[in-house]
Homo-oligomer: A and B are copies of this chain.
């Protein structure tokens, strides 16, 4: 049986428990902390923000992912980012990990951390420790516990984001196959323009896989998923994506880039893409998901540059919000994306579920039926196809429209 979608998120894989609580770090009347714990130590892989100003928990996690390469728990808070907080912010990380480690009976360096929210303020350690204590008592491997965790890490997100898949691998004994699970959750709505990584994302799997291959798989998948979305072009200080693999599925451990590794990569890609697209569609203030497919391009790198320029253009984003078929803006974005192309050869289409409108070909904007274009632009998911006619490579990028609410949310984020 091939890979299939299953319900749930971070607790879909065997041996992972989750909990959440209302720690009152900044938000009132909602949960704002989540914890993930594996029954056994996990191989861990991660990718992190390329922003030069890295939040304290990012620095902490990088130390573990590049150092120990193994971990057993994750503690996350929403509301305050613990970024630009100096030595005190780093001490908060040490204190959190020490307390969580003691509470869970694992080493402090087996505890990964994540924070998201406003940059600058310090997080009170006593609220974090109170939260960890509460959560340690209610850890659960149910789907509901995973879903509650995905809600607790939201900031300006309007929906929680989780996704899981299952696939089959040979058993460790070599007889028959066993089902392996891989699921994750993520949050992200503003300050979204991941570069080498994304906002907070946590993926768990019961697959037995070598840590180096786990990192290799993650590093291979992220450039085509999380790094292909943008909300506002602002790469956060806190972007963190972690994968924890505890090996409890009972599969023959993946130790080489073989068929099983290929299946694992496919599953990881599926989860990463779903979470990434959900983040793009839930961009701050967004009413529509924008997808741009670049086809027949000379290199994949160039295809990516074109696709990202279109979904990142403020003018394209505003036009989608206004459902205005101002196709010249797509041409303009392709034109400043960087790579060279011949404007006389390319073709641009507006693609709906049941209809397609040609915006541009033969070097000029085409006459099109405004009513048909309006109908396609009115859907929740708006897609542009750009045929560059220079080769055989392609790429897809996702973004969202630019709305009054984006301005409203970000004109007064702190209060």
Contacts and interface: CB of A to CB of B under 8 A. Distances in A.
A409 B407 CA distance: 14
A18 B363 CA distance: 34
Given A328-B83, A335-B237, A343 B53 contact: yes
Interface residues of A, number: 70
Contacts of A404: 404, 407-408
A119 B331 contact: yes
B84 A318 contact: no
B85 A411 contact: no
A406 B403 CA distance: 9
Contacts of A119: 326-329, 331-332, 365
A292 to B, nearest CB: 15
Nearest to A193: B336
A191 interface: yes
Contact of A336 (B51, B323, B328): B51
Interface in A99-147: 118-121
Given A335-B51, A336-B52, A326 B413 contact: yes
Contact of A406 (B52, B318, B413): B318
Nearest to A318: B410
A319 interface: yes
Interface in A181-212: 190-191, 193, 195
B332 A234 contact: yes
A415 interface: yes
Question: How often does this chain occur in the complex, in copies?
Answer: 2
B324 A413 contact: yes
Interface string A329-345: 10111111100110110
A233 B236 contact: no
A322 interface: yes
Tell me which of A54, A334, A340, A363 has the highest count of chain B C-beta atoms within 10 A of its own C-beta: A363
Contacts of A89: 364
A315 interface: yes
Contacts of A50: 336
Interface string A139-157: 0000000000000000000
B234 A118 contact: no
Contacts of A321: 407, 411
A195 B84 contact: no
Contacts of A327: 119-120
A119 B365 CA distance: 8
Contact of A85 (B53, B237, B364, B408): B364
A360 interface: yes
Tell me which of A119, A326, A327, A407 has the highest count of chain B C-beta atoms within 10 A of its own C-beta: A407
Nearest to A191: B315
Given A86-B362, A314-B234, A414-B324, A332 B407 contact: no
A405 to B, nearest CB: 9
A87 to B, nearest CB: 7
A45 to B, nearest CB: 23
Given A335-B51, A403-B407, A411-B322, A315 B232 contact: yes
A380 interface: no
A115 to B, nearest CB: 12
Tell me which of A88, A89, A120 has the highest count of chain B C-beta atoms within 10 A of its own C-beta: A120
16 contacts: A53-B331, A53-B334, A84-B331, A84-B360, A85-B365, A89-B364, A118-B328, A191-B315, A235-B335, A314-B314, A319-B410, A322-B410, A322-B413, A324-B413, A324-B414, A406-B407
Given A51-B336, A84-B328, A84-B331, 12 more contacts: A50-B336, A52-B335, A53-B331, A54-B335, A54-B343, A81-B328, A84-B364, A89-B364, A119-B326, A119-B327, A318-B407, A324-B414
Interface of A: 50-54, 81, 83-89, 118-121, 190-191, 193, 195, 232-237, 312-315, 318-319, 321-324, 326-329, 331-337, 340-341, 343-344, 360, 362-365, 402-404, 406-415
